[in-house]
Chains A and B, each alone.
Chain A
Amino acid sequence: MALRVKQEAAVGKVIEMTSAQNAISITLLEATSVLGENLVQSEPFLCFQEADRKLHVDREAMRLLTEFAELQQKIRSQQHSGAISESDIKRMRELQSAVGTNDSIQEHGLAQETAIAFLREVNQEISNLLGVDFASLTRRSGGCC
């Protein structure tokens, strides 16, 4: 009986949450859309999109990143078994150096940092006006905290 009450309460909760989500007004949806469009059209985000496009058409950069990710994964699993191959470590150092000097990858990283810094400034502006950190309200639970 107690379980049934709990289940009913859970169903009630789901309905309540859904109605809250549906309660977003057209005005708020429009303001969200205008903010999103302006962010995408801002210089930091346009630069980021362009850097992203350049990176994805740069075969050498993409090959480096793929090999880097695969080797990183391999070394991580070797760490668990305690048997890391010397040649893998050597190759990892070479890849790190190649990634560090590849223009497309470096430009992409820099453009991403700039876009993120700008987004944080925008969030700060919103949060200052609201008196509460808006970004923390948007996070869905999960992750380390």
Chain B
Amino acid sequence: MRSADALQLCLGALRGHSSRSLMLLLAVAIGVIAVNLLTGLGDGARQFVLGEFSALGRNTLIIMPGRKETTGGMPPITGLAPRDLTLQDTDAIGRLPLVRKVAPLQAGLMELSVAGRSREAFTIGTSRDFFAIRQLEVSQGQMLPALALDEALAVCVIGQKLRRELFGRGPALGEWLRAGNRRFRVIGILAERGQSLGTDFSEAVIIPVANAQALFNREGLFRVFAEVRSPAQINNGKRQILALLKERHEGKEDVTVISQDSMLTTFNDILGALTMAVGGIAAISMLVAGILIMNVTWIAVSQRTAEIGLLKAIGASAAQVRLLFLGEAALLAVIGALSGLLLGELLLWLGRWIWELPLYTPMWARITSLLLAMATALLFAWLPASRAAAMEPLAALRQAGSRK
């Protein structure tokens, strides 16, 4: 039999039982949609988180006070609270040969007010290098000036949203705002960038670190950001910083240094596994579709015994009969899977449009769902199709004859 003819026979049979075919199409399509939609969502979440993290740059190290480690057992009785990270530590890190930029971070919530309008805002005390490390830009005015770390200057850079809330439509540059019991002149407005690593910079105010220490009345730094000269040197940089701080802190390793990469890898692994799991759950719906295909093919075989008998009488072999029934199932699976893919893409497109998230189904999920649909269809149609093929032509014809 020519394959074009076989295809036409199968298509004809599907058209001849259109409501049944439609049901099956729907089942397969739903299975494929489920797989693609869920993996799309999972992968979208992963991409989103990755994007957030990589905004920090791959050669950035974050230094936190305290040893973040579960050693078990009681803390030593003689042990004091870990030593603070100081501005002097920051300077020392900055002098390391592998370190290109360094920025201290002192942060907290502070009541801000301008001419009677006031609100609480995230206040960041840092240095000029912070802008480069966190890839922040100003849309108006300038960044913090290059100061010595312990030098205070009553200036600030504020986020867009904060500007709108404090100054409304009026000008903000050069105006004064009050933070706690001090006044700061606005010298720059941050460009809109949204969230990064959970910090919404559009609602933040950035001041020199010395001012922040005075404002919060706290010496110890919250974080130190360090940028090494290239991503390849990140591990060496990490070792140098640890060694330096151990030396400066009287031989105690009381800081934690994390790299973007280590966090990234962890998140990537977790979210990747999540995507797989969700996709796997969706694949179960494909199994359901497969069982439906089996049932429907089964019905098709018993309804069309006369046809099977006839085909055999006029010269069809068992293999040809099986091929025709398998062909019908495969055709349904392909058409259903393709329409499912299309519909899934449409829904994801809608999702991207509504939530502005990077919702894309990974290529492997698309291909797998297609193959899975085909495989389940063929697998589940095999049994009924084989029954049709094995049917004695005589029995098939007689059964049909007795119906009259």
Task: Tell whether A and B belong to one assembly.
Answer: no
